[in-house]
Structure 1
Amino acid sequence: MLIAIAEVLDAAALARVRGLIDAADWVDGNATSGPQAALAKRNRQLSEDDAAARQAGGLVLDALGRSPLFVAAALPRKVFPPLFNRYAGGEDFGLHVDNAIRMRRGTDFRLRADLSATLFLDDPATYDGGELVIEDQFGPQTVKLPAGHMVLYPASSLHRVTPVTRGVRTASFFWIESMVRDDGARRLLFELDQGVQATAAALGQGDAAVVRLTGVYHNLLRRWADS
């Protein structure tokens, strides 16, 4: 399932994040690459240990916790601390797939990468190129969102970032381990959740049909989830 989530960061939060990361030290983006990705990746990013990156990542995590759409779509069990990358001057990231297991160096934190997320931090009118191209069952999907908006997609997908030929493309990226490992099951739960919410808005939370559908949702989640 590929889903765009609008305004994860509002204007004030976006300004705070940019104020932190813009003044930080950017390093070679292959600091977090696996062997395959290192062959295709040309960009810069902030070190995982950078204090500004950690503070900005905390702001992103706080924003995710306030997003009902993110919670409904991802059913998150763990979220990798957000990282930050930057492309300019023709830099790109060729076709690759993300590592299945992500580990934070120097800690015992690790997760299974079920979902990948890219949170755009630049106005798309300020740069050319930099599209995130995700290969899914319906063919290549091209994503270039407004600043503060995020795309969520299966980490198993082949994807790439096209060369940035003008301006700078800055983003936060991270991975999510879902309580529901199977993408198809997550998709069904998300669609059911959205249907329940729409029915509740029309009929009221106490309507018998809403109560029954809510029960179906939670019983399916109970069947499929690892808490």
Structure 2
Amino acid sequence: MLLHVPEVLTPEELRRCRGLLRDAPWSDGRATAGLQSAAVKNNEQVPPDWSQLPELRAIVLHALERHALFFSAALPKRIFPPMFNRYGGAANTYGNHVDMAVRHTSARQRVRTDVSCTLFFADPHEYEGGELVIEDTYGAKRVKLPAGDMVLYPGTSVHRVEPVTRGHRVASFFWVESMVRSDEQRRLLFELDMNLVRLRREHGETETAVALTGTYHNLLRMWADT
């Protein structure tokens, strides 16, 4: 499932993050890539020892905790600590690749990469190119979102970032290990949850809404690994 998650960050959070990233000591992004990805990766990343990185991560994680749409779609069990990258100038692209199935955090925790996430910090008018292109069964989907918005997509997807030809594309990227491993099952639960929200909005807390809520939670109970 590919999903646009709008307004993850508040305007104040976005301004703070952009201000911090403006002064970041960018380094070679290949340092965190696997063998296949390193051959096609040409971008910059915030180094893991930068003193401002914990604040940036805390802002993003706090924003995710309060975002109901993100929780409904990803059903997070673990979230890999957010990282931050930049495309532009001589380091401006990332060719076709698939994310590693398991990432290891600095605390030696393993995170299965069920869901890939990109949170944008630069608005589309600030740079040319830089589209995130995600291949799925219906063809290539091109994603370029407003600052503060995020896209979720299956970690199994082949994807790339097109060359940035003007300005800089700045984003956060991270992965979610979901309580529900199957992308198809997560999609069904998400669709059921969103339709329950609409049902309650239109008709209130009816017997049908209560019964379908029970169905949702019984499916989640059946499929979830906590």
Measured against the shorter chain, the TM-score band is: over 0.9
Aligned ranges 1:24-173 → 2 under 5 Å: 24-89=24-89, 91-105=92-106, 107-173=107-173
Amino acid at match of 2:76: P
SS at match of 2:27: strand
2:195 pairs with 1:191? no
Name the CA distance, whole Å, in 1 between partners of 2:51 and 2:58.
11
TM (normalized to structure 2)? 0.98
Task: State the identity as a percent.
Answer: 54
2:225 pairs with 1:215? no
Poorly superposed stretches of 4+, deviation over 2 Å: none
Q: Report if aligned partners of 1:116, 1:153 keep a CA contact under 8 Å in 2.
A: yes
2:222 pairs with 1:226? no
Q: Cα offset for 1:102?
A: 0.5
Q: Cα offset for 1:127?
A: 0.5
Q: Cα offset for 1:78?
A: 0.5
Aligned length: 225
What RMSD, in angstroms, separates the aligned Cα atoms of the two structures? 0.8
Name the CA distance, whole Å, in 1 between partners of 2:110 and 2:28.
23
More off after superposition, 16-25 vs 179-188: 16-25
Q: Cα offset for 1:21?
A: 2.0
Name the CA distance, whole Å, in 2 between partners of 1:40 and 1:108.
27
Q: Cα offset for 1:49?
A: 2.6
Name the CA distance, whole Å, in 1 between partners of 2:126 and 2:109.
36
Q: Cα offset for 1:51?
A: 2.2
Q: Cα offset for 1:198?
A: 0.6
5+ residue gaps, structure 1, are: none
Name the CA distance, whole Å, in 1 between partners of 2:131 and 2:85.
14
5+ residue gaps, structure 2, are: none
Name the CA distance, whole Å, in 1 between partners of 2:216 and 2:51.
41
Name the CA distance, whole Å, in 1 between partners of 2:131 and 2:13.
23
Q: Cα offset for 1:141?
A: 0.2
The equivalent of 1:201 in structure 2 is 201
Name the CA distance, whole Å, in 2 between partners of 1:63 and 1:86.
21
Deviations 1:204-224 (A, max 9, x none): 12x100000000000000000
Q: Cα offset for 1:23?
A: 1.2
Q: Cα offset for 1:54?
A: 2.0
Name the CA distance, whole Å, in 2 between partners of 1:73 and 1:47.
29
Name the CA distance, whole Å, in 1 between partners of 2:73 and 2:110.
21
Name the CA distance, whole Å, in 1 between partners of 2:177 and 2:157.
15
Are residues 7 and 175 of structure 1, via their aligned partners in 2, closer, same or farther at CA, if it must alter by over 3 Å? same
SS at match of 2:45: strand
Q: Report if aligned partners of 1:48, 1:54 keep a CA contact under 8 Å in 2.
A: no
Name the CA distance, whole Å, in 2 between partners of 1:165 and 1:52.
28
